[in-house]
Copies of this chain bind each other. A is one copy, B any other.
Amino acid sequence: MSKRELLMKTARRLFAENGFYGTPTALVAKEAGVSNGILFHYFPTKEILVSSLYQDIKDRIFNYAMTQIYNGATLKESIYTLWLASVEWNLEHPEDFEFMLQFENSPYYNEDVERSQRYVQMNLELIEQGIDQAVFKHFNPLFVVRILTSLVETTVKHLNKNQNLIDDFEYKSRLFEMAWDAIKK
């Protein structure tokens, strides 16, 4: 693994464990087994390291979601696919999930960062479709995406605490109904 990757991997773990305010860059470098200085070669500031990590995670979620969608799906099926992809991915990447929550509630996060994500764009298109077709309640589409996102997050936290339910797909489809009912007309 390249030093850059090593650093990101280590940062992900440490940030999840202690938060990024609680994780010195020096510790990231040390645990990654590289020198202190090289971190700033790849990530000129700590903020850039943090943001890069976030972007990387969001890209990976997007890529995963892309493998799950399929043609010919109904709107509900598509929304479900994205919802499930996001839930599953977060369940399988608890460190990324922890970090993501922190980041999205930190001063680093703003609407520009939010909109720049392809995963958000993907959702936005589907939601707009649903609103246009009067299948969904009539609200600002970005707001609806945020509603879905917050429900996904609460759901993932819930499943993380109840590991026995993690593979229960019938349960998960009931969880999805909460989200679906919230947004559908």
Contact = CB atoms under 8 A, between A and B. Distances in A.
A106 to B, nearest CB: 7
A21 interface: yes
A174 B137 contact: yes
Contacts of A102: 105-106
Please tell me the size bucket of the interface on A: 20 to 34
A177 interface: yes
A7 B154 CA distance: 33
Given A174-B137, A181-B181, A182-B182, A107 B22 contact: yes
Nearest to A165: B140
Nearest to A106: B19
Interface string A71-85: 000000000000000
Contacts of A157: 146
A150 B178 CA distance: 13
